[in-house]
Amino acid sequence: MFFLKRLTILILTAVIIIPAVSAQRTVEESYYMESIEIMIITEAAKGITREQKLVSLEYIGEAIERGNTDDRIRETLEFLTSEGTRSVTRENGRVVNNFPDIRRHAARYLGEIGTEEARKSLIGILEVENEPIVLQETFKSLGDIGTNANNETVRSIARVLNFYTNTNPDNLMALSAIDAFEKIARKNGGINSIEVINCLTNVSTGLYTVPIRERARQLLADLRSYR
């Protein structure tokens, strides 16, 4: 009887301990794999070629999809959005790191991260970027995040769109900005920025297609309905 009791205790102990050891190993393995993933992300982003940077973005996309918002990922995305603008590499006088599509994808992933630091990184893009496809994606990401402390987000978008409205109107850029304003207004109970009002007024009377001008007018009307 004593033997049977002892055997039972040993079996129960093994049942408890083995999963615990396995769980510990799984945690350690997960941490190791995550460290390797971050290393690939950061090192590939530093590569010279566009293909290397695409590898970094591929791993970043998979990490974000799993819910990994490690700040090193955000820092890598910020680095990728600055290449060819703030950070320029030249060979024989020619810029070799200007990849607008890479910057656009990086801006999109910053929006998916969605943190305050990501928002600040996106605001930084608007200060130096001159490629419409990147600006459109940046507007969209800022709209998706939706935060707008002291109207900083909407003022930054309005400043860029006003510049293009006055110099080189771009319908897709205007549409992206209007969509961002709408999302931010919904998330914050309206927008009380004179810069946005002036921006939308300029779009509604500018050299844009009729649907874009109508969208701007409609948003101006909608903004008046917020309390």
CA–CA separation, 184 vs 141, rounded Å? 11
Here the tokens at position 157 are: 């978008």
DSSP 82-136: HBTTTB--EETTEE----HHHHHHHHHHHHHH--HHHHHHHHHHHHH---HHHHH
Q: Is residue 90 part of a domain?
A: yes
Average pLDDT over residues 93-113: 95
Last residue of a domain, one of 111, 127, 145: 145
Phi, psi of 84 (to 5 degrees): 90, -10
Please give the model's pTM, rounded to 2 decimal places: 0.84
Tell me which residue range forms the domain holding 217. Answer: 150-227
Nearest-5° angle of CA 132, CA 133, CA 134?
90
Q: Is residue 136 part of a domain?
A: yes
Domain count of the fold of the chain: 2
CA–CA separation, 143 vs 56, rounded Å? 25
Give every CB contact of residue 51 below 8 A, 6+ residues apart in sequence. none
- pLDDT tens by residue, 18-77: 444 444 557 566 555 678 889 999 999 999 899 999 999 999 999 999 998 889 999 999
- Residue 154 and residue 141 share a domain: no
Last residue of a domain, one of 145, 180, 211: 145
Q: Is residue 172 part of a domain?
A: yes
- Residue 184 and residue 136 share a domain: no
